[in-house]
Amino acid sequence: MDYLEHDKPEEACGIVGLSAPGRDVSRLAFFSLFALQHRGQESAGIAVSDNNHITVFKEMGLVSQVFKEETLKGLSGQSAIGHVRYSTTGSTRWCNAQPVCHIRNGHTVALAHNGNIVNTSELREMLAGHDIKLTTTSDSELLAAIIATNGEEDIRDAVAAIVPKIKGAFSVVLLSQGIVLGFRDPWGVRPLAIGRLEDGNYVLASESCGLDIVGAEFVREVKPGQMVALTPGHIEIRQIVPPAREQGLCIFEFIYFARPDSVIEGQTVSRIRNRMGEELAREFPADADMVIPIPDTGTPAAIGFARASGIPYGEGLIKNRYVGRTFIQPDQDLRQHGIRVKLNPLPELIKGKRLVVVDDSIVRGNTTSKIVEMLFAAGAKEVHLRISSPPITHPCFFGIDTSTSTELIASEKSISEIREHVGATSLEYISLDGLQRAVDLPRERFCRACFTGKYPIDIPDDVKGSKHRFEQVEQDPVAKGRTEKEPVV
């Protein structure tokens, strides 16, 4: 187990797609992925089309670790897609890095996916009789393989024919025949935004921050059930499946996943998180001397709490902002200091103080308890925890790595029992109604299943459980032999 024992919902993935002849498309994709790094830190990859010849480079690690100057120079072309991954189906292995590729009608199809497919068994049965070998254990390759079985001449028509057969959460970018496609499931679980470059070409990205960094003007979001086709200087939008009557945008995009500067559903994420803190202060006030966040994701809500309560805001915990994915494990003595690798308290600021400590969520409770212990050891008189999401009581099957209830402390303990477990003076969570007021959009627009257990999409029994459910599926022996450090070009 990770010595920090992850106490957050692990991220979804990040995707980008663009068509921009005359531009350095791999470099644009690199910077867009760099802005989306918060959505996945396991692997990164870019596929580039140069006169319909597709080259893919992907590797384990962060964007800045995977791509070097010489690598980007070797990825020239007119269009590109890219991906950063956190695994929700399929293990953390090189073969599961994206984009994934299959051949369709003699053309390569490269695909990158954010979300989780729930009718995977049905889709695998559809592959029977087709000469297609799956070489990974992810549901994303399954999407590419199914699309590859369609015989339509135009890739747009092939995708339009296949998407109605797919159930689950999917925001996808696809590259084939010199065309970049982006499409979104009819529930709209995961976001996908459209941007326009100054030269009139277009970019797709999971969040608007992935557009901002490359100088693309945010146009709008891809709507649920829509497909967007990008060709040089042109964008085509088709409604390929009707939007679901009740939408399912993951409300955790607003709570935790999305970057604070991103715009979703016409609202800046940071402002919504401010309002979550304000609602928390109204619902669960505390008699305290200072409000501090657990940085960085608790910061906007802590600012809102301080503003609404009148309690001074301070930064009592300092984050090491250069901590990313690392394969270097600490020795036993360093493990005792565990959480200090990421966070360190300021004793002179918090000693003798009654603190309101604001965070966005508690999943397992392990890291939270270490932070509370650390604050008391630094001299805090009281620690009042305030959480800007309701208790997470049910697993997610749509792209968050909480596939079983046993991973969720709130599914097995009451709030008072969680308070005792983490050692806080008090503990309160924002109510579901308070959260909805902060988001200021109808509840029918959102998937809130992690709080309510009411899923917008039916979940087959074979999907419930481990994200490693495909690991026993026979794989191509060549794929088995690849090492995690072996790139593909």
Q: What is the pLDDT of residue 375?
A: 97
pLDDT at 86: 77
In angstroms, the CA 471 to CA 468 distance is 5
Q: By C-alpha distance, which of 34, 48, 40 is closest to 210?
A: 34
- Count CA atoms within 13 Å of residue 369 on its CB side: 15
When mean pLDDT is compared across 135-144, 263-272, 302-311, 370-379, the lowest value belongs to 135-144
Q: 483 pLDDT exceeds 60?
A: no
More confident call, 488 vs 204: 204
Residue 271, pLDDT > 80, answer: yes
Burial of 342 (0-12, 13-18, 19+ CB in 10 A): middle
Check whether 174 has a pLDDT greater than 80: yes
pLDDT range class, residue 438, cuts 50, 70, 90: very high
With 60 as the cut, is the pLDDT of residue 476 above it?
Answer: no
Vertex 388, ends 312 and 365: CA angle to 5°? 105
- Of the given ranges (75-84, 97-106, 389-398, 402-411), which has the lowest mean pLDDT? 402-411
Q: Which CATH superfamily is domain 14-245+472-481 in?
A: Aminohydrolase, N-terminal nucleophile (Ntn) domain (3.60.20.10)
In which band, very low, low, confident or very high, does the pLDDT at 484 lie, cut at 50, 70 and 90?
very low
Across 164-187, average pLDDT: 97
The predicted structure's pLDDT at residue 329 = 57
Convert the pLDDT of each residue in 57-69 to its tens digit. 999 999 999 999 9
Computed over every residue of the chain, the mean pLDDT equals 89
Output the CA–CA distances (angstroms, integers) from residue 133 to 20, 149, 165, 359, in the order listed: 33, 12, 20, 45
Q: Please determine, for residue 432, whether its predicted confidence score (pLDDT) is greater than 50.
A: yes
Residue 221's closest CA among 164, 176, 266, 255?
A: 266
Split at pLDDT 50, 70, 90, the class of 489 is very low
- 268-441: same fold as 14-245+472-481? no
Q: What is the pTM of this model?
A: 0.89
Q: How confident is the model over 266-274, as a mean pLDDT? A: 97
Q: Specify the 3-state DSSP secondary structure of 65.
A: helix
Q: Please give the CATH topology (third level) of the domain spanning 268-441.
A: Rossmann fold (3.40.50)
Q: What confidence score (pLDDT) does residue 426 get?
A: 98
What is the C-alpha to C-alpha distance for residues 467 and 183, in angstroms, rounded to an integer?
A: 24
**Residue 331's pLDDT is what?**
67
396 is catalytic: no
Query: According to the model, what pLDDT value does residue 1 have?
Result: 37
Give me the phi and psi of 191, to 5 degrees please: -80, 160
φ, ψ for residue 318, nearest 5 deg: -105, 130
pLDDT tens sequence across 231-255: 999 999 999 999 999 899 999 999 9
Question: What was the pLDDT predicted at 130?
Answer: 87
For the chain, percent of residues with pLDDT exceeding 70: 87
Asked if residues 83 and 98 have their Cβ atoms less than 8 Å apart, the reply is: yes
Q: Which of 341, 347, 426 is nearest to 387 (CA)?
A: 426
Q: What is the rounded distance in angstroms from the CA atom of residue 321 to the CA atom of residue 302?
A: 19
| Domain locations along the chain | 14-245+472-481, 268-441
